[in-house]
């Protein structure tokens, strides 16, 4: 009998803290040995000249999420996790939207039914809390946190979804007592409504107006308010999809006051601008997401946040709608006004290659920082560490083997999601994950899918282990 089920041989291994040459021995889905010249593998994957990284964890994706009357999300769990896998991810964290009047547990059961047997990656859920009533905060939520649903997102915008400041602070208080982690979407809904009315009255209804009605100021103000509420509740908070320098400054200032804040940004804020919403023939609809892409200066500010450590998390916010589709971006109401274009863009498959190419290959960040931003910090923030997010004995054997020399032009025709476009069409990247291993099983070998739907499984998340950010958890060896 072989000593190992699988050996990854000869690669350069990187974690969030180290880069070293080693073989990795895997048995029973776990990493059991890391060393030199390991022998006795039932299966061997040669990784000479390649980087062996923890599989990506994309902790901000939306699959099969109800998105308004007549609108259908382009990805379900099958297409969404397949696309994620091809992009070097082994775990994704979609959102379970609480439908008003429906018990959270019932909403979760429906998402489990959609995921069960359909996933190519492992999956763990966040909740979206749209009803912060006393009974939900007092009973339902604490019970769910204890059961492995330990993170939830609250919105300061969107009709029917946004919570009041009072509801947010009471939610943060429950997070404090239960160890849950709260993610906040920071945009000022009343200011947005005012601006939408003004633009529509002026007949300015094209996609570009989406960016004009959600300016930096609405995000900056809401970010400040969310951080202030977290400060008063005395609990860590995650500020998701940060798009600009002013919001980054709010995060930095809050940290100097002692607020434990984890910041997330996304590829769209590093690579796109509001000018992309200007496309002819309503093509700008392809880039409508919230917060919207900004300008070159805000891109630079976000890159600085990636480089300097302001951001702990880099996620896709994959929220795919087909473009040329009456159930997607070009739905009849969306053709009449930007206000009805569904918010969100695809990106789960391109997230890692974009940061690898623009970040690591161009020398903005090193490999350990890439691993921290794309995998380790996600596992630490959302209760999946150290089973996930690192390469160590005892961890799940979730690995992405990168060819750092391969060059590719991103084309939607080569991607695996259910949308009909990518916002990054024509972008040239260097480096791509060519082999992906999930729980010791080779899922993609040299770019070919060899794993199966259903090989990915649901993974419950534990509660926050520390009140600290991922970086300070690293120092404590957690």
**Contact residues for ligand DUC (CB under 6 A)?**
62, 185, 289-290, 317, 319, 343-344
Q: Which residue, 375, 360, 376, is CA-closest to 474?
A: 376
With CB under 5 to 8 Å by kind, the binding choice for 469 among Zn ion, ligand DUC, none is none
With CB under 5 to 8 Å by kind, the binding choice for 441 among Zn ion, ligand DUC, none is none
With CB under 5 to 8 Å by kind, the binding choice for 419 among Zn ion, ligand DUC, none is none
Contact 57, 380 (CB under 8 A): no
- Return the H-helix or E-strand segment holding 105: helix 104-115
CB atoms within 10 A of CB 366: 13
Q: Closest CB to Zn ion among 187 and 455? A: 187
Q: Closest CB to ligand DUC among 346 and 431? A: 346
- In the chain, the N- to C-terminal Cα span, in Å, equals 35
Which one of 68-76, 128-136, 309-317, 469-477 is the stretch in contact with Zn ion (CB under 5 A)? 309-317
* Whole-number Cα distances in Å, 94 to 232, 325, 374: 29, 23, 16
Radius of gyration, alpha carbons of the chain: 21
With CB under 5 to 8 Å by kind, the binding choice for 349 among ligand DUC, Zn ion, none is none
Q: Closest CB to ligand DUC among 95 and 385? A: 95
Q: Smallest gap, in angstroms, from Cβ of residue 414 to ligand DUC?
A: 24
Torsion angle of the four alpha carbons 54, 58, 59, 60, in this order, in degrees rounded to the nearest 10: 170
Q: Smallest gap, in angstroms, from Cβ of residue 355 to ligand DUC?
A: 19
Tell how strand 30-35 and strand 19-27 pair up. Answer: antiparallel
Site for Zn ion in 160-219 (CB under 5 A): 185
Dist. CA 205–CA 336, nearest whole Å: 7
Which one of 16-24, 195-203, 316-324, 365-373 is the stretch in contact with Zn ion (CB under 5 A)? 316-324
Which one of 112-120, 224-232, 313-321, 322-330 is the stretch in contact with Zn ion (CB under 5 A)? 313-321
Partner residues linked to 317 by β-bridges: none
Q: Smallest gap, in angstroms, from Cβ of residue 342 to ligand DUC?
A: 8
Q: Smallest gap, in angstroms, from Cβ of residue 62 to ligand DUC?
A: 6
Q: Which residue, 86, 22, 89, is CA-closest to 59?
A: 89
- Paired tokens of 171: 């939610």
Q: Does residue 318 bind Zn ion (CB under 5 A)?
A: no
Residue 275: HSE in the Cβ half-sphere, 13 Å Cα cutoff = 7
- Residue with structure tokens 């947010």? 168
What number of chain residues touch Zn ion (CB under 5 A)? Answer: 2
Helix (H, G, I), strand (E, B) or coil at 397: coil
Contact 300, 353 (CB under 8 A): no
List the one residue from 187, 317, 358, 403 that touches Zn ion (CB under 5 A): 317
Q: Smallest gap, in angstroms, from Cβ of residue 368 to Zn ion?
A: 27
Q: Which residue, 133, 113, 134, 135, is CA-closest to 125?
A: 113
With CB under 5 to 8 Å by kind, the binding choice for 343 among Zn ion, ligand DUC, none is ligand DUC
Q: Closest CB to Zn ion among 97 and 277? A: 97
Q: Closest CB to ligand DUC among 9 and 185? A: 185
Q: Closest CB to Zn ion among 179 and 292? A: 292
Q: Smallest gap, in angstroms, from Cβ of residue 240 to ligand DUC?
A: 8
Local structure of residue 339 (DSSP, 8 states): G
Q: Closest CB to Zn ion among 240 and 277? A: 240
Q: Smallest gap, in angstroms, from Cβ of residue 298 to Zn ion?
A: 17
Q: Smallest gap, in angstroms, from Cβ of residue 249 to ligand DUC?
A: 21
Q: Closest CB to ligand DUC among 63 and 385? A: 63
Dist. CA 164–CA 225, nearest whole Å: 11
Q: Closest CB to ligand DUC among 241 and 388? A: 241
Q: Smallest gap, in angstroms, from Cβ of residue 292 to ligand DUC?
A: 8
Dist. CA 5–CA 3, nearest whole Å: 7
Contact 333, 340 (CB under 8 A): yes
Contacts of 79 (CB under 8 A, 6+ apart): 416, 417, 418
With CB under 5 to 8 Å by kind, the binding choice for 88 among ligand DUC, Zn ion, none is none
Q: Closest CB to ligand DUC among 184 and 444? A: 184
With CB under 5 to 8 Å by kind, the binding choice for 277 among Zn ion, ligand DUC, none is none
Dist. CA 315–CA 92, nearest whole Å: 10
Q: Closest CB to ligand DUC among 241 and 369? A: 241
Local structure of residue 258 (DSSP, 8 states): T
Contact 342, 334 (CB under 8 A): yes
CB atoms within 10 A of CB 109: 12
Residues of this chain that interact with Zn ion (CB under 5 A) are 185, 317
């Amino acid at each position: 009998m072989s000593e190992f089920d699988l050996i990854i041989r000869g690669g350069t291994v990187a974690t969030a803290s180290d880069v070293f040459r080693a073989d990795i021995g895997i048995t029973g889905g776990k990493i059991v040995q890391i060393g030199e010249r390991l022998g006795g593998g039932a299966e061997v994957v040669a990784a000479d000249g390649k980087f062996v990284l923890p599989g990506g964890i994309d902790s901000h994706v939306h699959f099969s999420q109800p998105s308004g009357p007549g609108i259908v999300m382009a990805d379900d769990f099958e297409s969404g996790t397949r696309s994620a896998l091809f992009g070097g991810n082994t775990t994704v964290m979609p959102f379970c939207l609480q439908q008003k009047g429906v018990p959270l547990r019932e909403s979760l059961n429906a998402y489990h039914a959609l995921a069960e047997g359909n996933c190519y990656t492992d999956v763990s859920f966040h909740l979206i809390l749209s009803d912060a009533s006393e009974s939900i905060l007092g009973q339902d939520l604490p019970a769910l946190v204890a059961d492995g649903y330990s993170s939830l997102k609250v919105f300061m915008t969107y009709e029917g979804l946004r919570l009041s400041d009072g509801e947010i602070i009471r939610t943060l208080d429950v997070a404090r007592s239960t160890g849950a982690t709260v993610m906040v979407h920071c945009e000022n809904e009343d200011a947005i409504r005012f601006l939408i009315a003004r633009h529509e009255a002026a007949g300015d209804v094209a996609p570009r107006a989406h960016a004009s009605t959600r300016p930096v100021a609405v995000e900056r103000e809401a970010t400040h308010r969310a951080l202030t509420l977290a400060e008063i509740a005395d609990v860590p908070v995650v500020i998701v999809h940060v798009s600009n320098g002013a919001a980054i400054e709010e995060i930095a200032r809050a940290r100097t006051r002692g607020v434990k804040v984890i910041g997330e940004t996304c590829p769209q804020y590093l690579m796109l601008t509001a000018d992309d919403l200007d496309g002819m023939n309503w093509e700008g609809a392809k880039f409508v997401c919230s917060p919207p892409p900004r300008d070159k200066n805000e891109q630079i500010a976000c890159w600085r946040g990636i480089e300097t450590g302001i951001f702990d998390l880099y996620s896709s916010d994959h929220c795919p709608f087909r473009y040329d589709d009456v159930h997607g971006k070009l739905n009849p109401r969306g053709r009449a006004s930007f206000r009805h274009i569904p918010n969100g863009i695809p990106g789960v498959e391109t997230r890692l290659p974009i940061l690898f190419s623009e970040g690591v290959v161009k020398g903005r960040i090193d490999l350990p920082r890439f691993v921290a931003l794309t995998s380790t910090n996600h596992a630490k923030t959302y209760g999946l560490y150290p089973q996930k997010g690192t390469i160590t004995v005892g961890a799940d054997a979730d690995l992405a083997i990168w060819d750092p020399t391969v060059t590719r032009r991103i084309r939607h025709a080569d991607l695996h999601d259910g949308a009909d476009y990518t916002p990054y069409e024509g972008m040239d990247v260097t480096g791509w994950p060519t082999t992906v291993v999930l729980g010791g099983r080779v899922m993609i070998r040299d770019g070919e899918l060899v794993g199966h739907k259903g090989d990915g499984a649901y993974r419950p998340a534990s509660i926050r282990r520390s009140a600290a950010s991922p970086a300070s958890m690293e120092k404590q060896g957690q």
